[in-house]
Amino acid sequence: MEQDTGAGPVTAVEREDYKLNKESNCMEKDEFIDFIKERLSDRLGADYTLEEREIPKLNGVIKRVLTVKQSGTYCAPSFYLEEMYASYKNGTVPEVMLEQMEEVVRFDSGKMEQMKDRIISAEWLQSNTYVRLIQGETNKERKDDGICLEYGDLLAEFYVFVGEDPEGIRCFRLPRKVWEDNRMPDPQSCLGQILENTRRLFPEVITEMKQCIRELEQQMIRKGEETEVFFPEIDDCEIPKMIVISNEKKMNGASVILYPNVLRDLWEQNGDFYLIPSSVHEVILIKDSEDIKEKELNLTIQNVNQTQLLLEEVLSNHAYFYSEATGLCMSKENREPMNYCML
């Protein structure tokens, strides 16, 4: 299906500016941001308001964004300014950025116009709310204006799915006020329905690590990259069986461990196991054995978190343990089951 984005042509003056700045990438960050704001405002017209602001992300990270809102609409797209500036310094022409931004804004405006009769309603919320699993200790302030359920030392945070297009998934963090204004029931009592929504929108994908490595190797081969250094004959390697748990989108896939019976089914196939919180996007199952030392696992997790992940992608600093008798626990020694609790 084709989309009429309404993206307008670039003016001759703009093209000269782009040409000059492309040649040297000479704009400083604040100058670049002012340039983008001015040009985007000119392209969109008076019906749109541009607001530069700072928004809190996970684990205390603050992002500088440009939010574009059309009068009379509830949802508005936001663009990450630091990332845009880094792309500009790496050679992306501002003309391309502006055209992409306008396309996103006008698509979102059209989508909201189509949905205005049913957004936001109690029925719509009940069928489109889903959860993301995030770190608990560093994100507790998010309960002040959002909805979070405590799950051990993690949080299940409520989001609302708006739609999906080639640019990505449209969603927003569910404000507590929206939930209450629509007289929605206690969030914990709705958890079953919300987990069903999450599973429907983001089906689980459970894959052995060796298969993930093979797929990555094939991707590198298709790109003409060397693989021998990185991928020896993995079938001959003596490595513990590991299973990667995520969703089809590979985004915020750690929430799959909340889906009904997922961990129970994995236990029936593998026996007791550890869950390694590799990021908010996936977790890794390692079968329990005498060779597994929980303290060493935790040190490895902490090292990876500090050296390999963006701060906002960190899920936890320790492994979790699953057994038939207790379900998911904070550790093998601490066998108290992890349960949901409203914050």
- pLDDT for res 35: 93
State the pLDDT confidence band at 80, using cuts at 50, 70 and 90.
very high
- pLDDT for res 2: 26
Average pLDDT of every residue of the chain: 84
- pLDDT per position as a tens digit, 283-303: 999 999 988 899 999 999 999
Q: What percent of the chain has pLDDT over 70?
A: 78
Question: Which range has the top average pLDDT, 59-68, 137-146, 184-193, 196-205?
Answer: 196-205
Contact 133, 280 (CB under 8 A): yes
- pLDDT per position as a tens digit, 228-281: 545 555 455 555 689 999 999 999 999 999 999 999 999 999 999 999 999 999
Least trusted range by pLDDT, from 7-21, 94-108, 197-211: 7-21
Question: Which range has the top average pLDDT, 174-178, 222-226, 284-288?
Answer: 284-288
- pLDDT for res 275: 96
State the pLDDT confidence band at 23, using cuts at 50, 70 and 90.
very low
- pLDDT for res 113: 56
- pLDDT for res 8: 42
Mean pLDDT along residues 152-176:
87
Stronger pLDDT, 57 or 316, i.e. the higher one: 316
Q: Is the pLDDT of residue 336 over 80?
A: yes
- pLDDT per position as a tens digit, 96-148: 999 989 988 887 666 655 555 555 688 888 999 999 999 999 998 998 899 99
- pLDDT for res 5: 34
